[in-house]
Structure 1
C-alpha cells in the first residue's frame, strides 16, 4: 500500500484508508456546520471540560445547551449520560422550581401578616413574639422562617442605648441578708417568692427611676413605684403596693440586691411588720436576680429605647400602659 493511500492521524500515528476518509469527512461536516452558524460539538465539549471537569451537572448543562441542534440521544451518548437520568432531572428541576415559586408566594402572604402583628405590637416585638402571635392566630410556621422573613425585609425592633446611671449602691456598712434562693426561680405557688429591683428611664427632664416587685410563680408585677430620686422611699412604696394588693403573707421570701435602699431601716421595718423573710443577692451577681433583670430588659427593648420621653409624666403614663 502506498504511503499516500494511508490515513493520517493528528497525533502522528497511522490508520486505515477507510478510517482516514471517515475522519476527513467528519472534519468537513463540522467545518460546514460551523460556517452555517451551528455550534461545533467538539469545541463545545472542550469548553465544557475546561469548566470544572466532567461532572454530571456539567454534562446536563452541555446537553441542554446543544439539544436544539442535535438529538438528545446523540448528546447523551457523547457525554456518556443516560437519557432517563437527563429527562428525570429535568422533571425534578421543574418540580423544584414549582415548589420554590409556591414558597415565595407564601412568604409574600406571610410578610403581610408579620407586618400586621409587628404594627399591632407598636413596632416592639421580635421574631419570637411575632411567631407566637402567628401561631395563636392559626398560622403553622416555624420561628426560623419568621426570623428569616423579618431579617430579609429589615423588620426589627430598633433600640437606642441611653446613658446608664448607677442604681445599686452596695458600698455601705449595713448588714446584708443571706441569699436564700441561690438562683432557684422554679416556684409554682403564688405569694411564696417575690423579687424586687430598681431600673431607670431617660427623659427630657432627667432620670425617672422605677422600683418593681415581681411574683416569681405568676410572673406578675405586684407592686411598683416611680420617682425622680433613688431614696429608700421609692422601694418602700413599691413594697407597700404589693402588700396592699396581695395582703401580708407571713413566711414569704422577698429577694433583692444589696442596694442601700433594700438594706435601709425603713424598708426592713415594712418586712418585719409583714413577717416576710428577706433575701439578698451576692455582691456583683446580677444573675442572682435574673427574672427581674429579664423584665426590665423587655420593658426597655419594647418601650423605653424606642422613643424619647419629653417629660417624666409622659414616661410614667407609657410605662403604666
Structure 2
C-alpha cells in the first residue's frame, strides 16, 4: 500500500467516489490505499466533516480509564479493533494495538501525557557541584527524572544522562572534560606517563572483566562460544560482577555483546511464572542439600524435586539450577581430565638414593603434595628438605598446583644460600621438567637430579616427610578454610624444625643439629 500522505481535500475527493457506487476495494486498487483506511476516513468525515480529515498537529490525550475500557471491549470479541477505535475516537487502530500489547505484558497503563514539554528539551549550563546535587536528589526520589528537571530547571535528557554517567563512573564522570584533551605531541613527559598509565589501567580492567565474565558464563565449557550462551546467564553474570567486583555495566555489556538498555530492561522486568518457580526450586534444593549433608547430585535432587513440586522437572533444568545456586555433591566428584604433557627438560638420577649429606645445603629434595579442606576444596604444599639434617628449608602453600608454586618455593630457598650450590632432587612433575625451573637452577648454579619414572622411593625422604606431616597433624583435625589449614601447616613445620627431636640426629631437633654443625 502507498505510504504517501493525502490532504484533507484529496481524501474528500476519494470519499465522493465512494458515494458514486465505487466500493472500497475499487478505490483501494485505484489509489493504492488500504480499504480499511478509506473506511476510517469516511467515519471521521461523517462525525466531524472536513475537519476530521485533517492531520492532527497536537498530541491527543487519553485517560487510563478510557484505555482500559477500550481494551476490554476489544478483548471481549464483540468488536473489531477498528470498531473500538472509532467508538472511543482513538486516532488510529495502531494506538489501540499498542495499549493491548502493554496490557497483555502486564505493564501499567498511564494517562497520556501532553507530549514533550520545554523541560524535556530545553537545558542550561550547570556546574559540577550542581550536577552532583541533581543526580543525588534524583536517585533519592527513585529516579524521577521529570521531577528533578522541573526542580532544577534543566532538561529531562540532561538529568537522565547525568544519572547514567554517575552510575558508571561516580562523581568524576560528571565533570565537563570537553576541550581539555591536548594533542599527544604537546604533552609533557609527566603527562605522557600519566596517559600511558591510564591506558594500561583501562586495558587491565578490561582484561579482568573479560576473564571474570567468561569464567562465570562458560563455567566448565571452556570452548563455548559467546553466541551459545543463554542471555539469562549473561544478564545474571553482569549483575553479579557489577555488585561484587565493581565493574562497569557498560564495559560488561560490551564484552557480552548485548545492549545496555537490554540489560536494564531485564533488570527491571516482572519475573515470569517460570522464574518464580525456579526461585522456589532453588530454595527447596538448598534446604535439602543442607539436610542430607550435600550427598545428593543432580539425579537424586531431580527425583526429590519432582516429588516435592508434583511435576516432571527435567534433570537438565535441575543441573543448571544447582550450578546457579552453587550446590554440588560432596561424593563421587567428577575428576578432571588431565592431558599428559611432554617434559621440556629431564635430568638424570644423580642422587641415586644417596640420602645422606656431609654438610648443610649439600643435597636438597623437593616435592608437592595435596591437602583437602572445607567441602572438597584443595590446597597444594610445595617444600624443600635438606638431607643433612632433614629440616624444611622453605615451603609454600597455594590454591593451585602450578609452576609459580614451585618457583616461589625455590626462590625462598636460594635466598638463604651463602655461596653453596646444592644438588636438588625431585620427581618428574611438569613443574620440575619445565624450562623455567631449569633456568632458575642454572642461575643458582645448582645441580638437578630427577627420580626415575614410577620410582617414588627415589625421592623417599620427601615422601617420608609428607607421611609424617599428615599423620601427626593433618589427619587429626578438620580444616574448614584455607587459612586454618595454612596456619596448622606453618605451626607444624616450625615444630618439626625446632622441637621434634630425632634419634638419627643424636636426640636433637633438625635446627639444633644444624647449629651444631655451624
TM range (shorter): 0.3 to 0.5
TM-score w.r.t. length of structure 1 = 0.46
Bigger share in helix: 2
Bigger RCO (CA 8 Å, 6+ sep): 1
TM-score w.r.t. length of structure 2 = 0.29
Bigger share in strand: 1
